[in-house]
C-alpha cells in the first residue's frame, strides 16, 4: 500500500500534533506559587493542550513523614475546566515543603499524566502569592505571543524542569512510539 502525498502529509501532521499535545500544571508549583494551609487554594493546568478529557488529582510529598503516599482528593476532574478551586475541606495538609500535585489516569493512579513543580504549603494566615505570579490557563502553554508573560515563564520553567529530568511537568507522548509510527509511515509511502 502506498500513501499519496496528501495522505502522507496528514499522517505526519497527526504524528507531529501528538508531540505537542501535553498536560502541564501551571499552579501551584515552584518558589512563587504556594498554598496556604487550612485555606482555599487553586490548581491551574494547560487544558487547551491536554490530550485527556479527565483525570484524578492527587497531592504528594517527597518527605514520607509528611505524607506516606500520594493522596487523591478529586476522583475525576474534567480537563475543560482549566482550573479548580480547592476548598480547605478538600485538602487539609500540614505546612511543609516538598508537595507536588499529580494529575493521573482515573483508572490507574500510578499512571501520572503530569506532576507540578514542588511547592510549599505555608501556615494558616500567610499571604497568598501575588496575582501577577499566578498563571492562567488561557493562552498557550508554550508561551506564544498570545500567552501572558507569566504563562511564558511557567511554560519555560515546565519545559526546563522536564528537560532536566527534575520533578517538573512531563510530556505525555512517548517519543519512541512517535518515531516508530513515523518510520512505519515512511516505509509504507516508499514501499
What burial class does residue 87 get, using C-beta atoms within 10 Å of its C-beta: 0-12 exposed, 13-18 middle, 19+ buried?
exposed
Cα 118 to Cα 166: distance, rounded to the nearest angstrom: 10
Asked whether the predicted pLDDT for residue 181 surpasses 90, the reply is no
- Per-residue pLDDT at 5 exceeds 50: no
pLDDT tens per residue, range 17-68:
444 579 999 999 999 999 999 999 999 999 999 999 999 999 999 999 999 9
**Residue 174 confidence (pLDDT) above 80:** no
Place 131 in a pLDDT band, splitting at 50, 70 and 90.
confident
Is residue 90 pLDDT above 80, yes or no? yes
pLDDT tier for residue 138 given thresholds of 50, 70 and 90: low
pLDDT beyond 80 at 191? no
Amino acid at each position: 500500500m502506498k500513501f499519496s502525498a496528501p495522505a502522507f502529509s496528514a499522517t505526519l501532521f497527526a504524528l507531529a500534533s501528538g508531540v505537542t499535545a501535553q498536560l502541564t500544571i501551571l499552579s501551584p508549583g515552584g518558589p512563587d506559587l504556594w498554598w496556604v494551609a487550612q485555606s482555599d487554594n487553586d490548581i491551574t493546568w494547560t487544558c487547551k493542550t491536554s490530550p485527556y478529557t479527565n483525570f484524578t488529582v492527587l497531592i504528594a510529598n517527597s518527605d514520607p513523614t509528611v505524607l506516606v503516599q500520594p493522596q487523591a482528593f478529586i476522583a475525576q476532574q474534567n480537563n475543560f475546566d482549566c482550573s479548580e478551586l480547592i476548598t480547605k475541606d478538600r485538602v487539609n495538609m500540614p505546612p511543609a515543603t516538598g508537595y507536588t500535585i499529580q494529575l493521573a489516569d482515573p483508572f490507574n493512579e500510578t499512571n501520572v499524566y503530569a506532576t507540578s513543580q514542588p511547592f510549599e504549603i505555608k501556615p494558616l494566615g500567610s499571604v497568598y502569592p501575588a496575582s501577577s505570579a499566578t498563571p492562567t490557563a488561557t493562552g498557550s502553554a508554550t508561551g506564544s505571543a498570545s500567552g501572558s508573560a507569566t504563562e511564558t515563564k511557567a511554560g519555560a520553567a515546565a519545559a526546563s524542569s522536564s528537560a532536566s529530568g527534575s520533578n517538573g511537568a512531563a510530556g505525555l507522548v512517548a517519543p519512541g512510539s512517535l518515531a516508530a509510527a513515523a518510520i512505519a509511515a515512511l516505509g509504507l509511502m516508499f514501499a
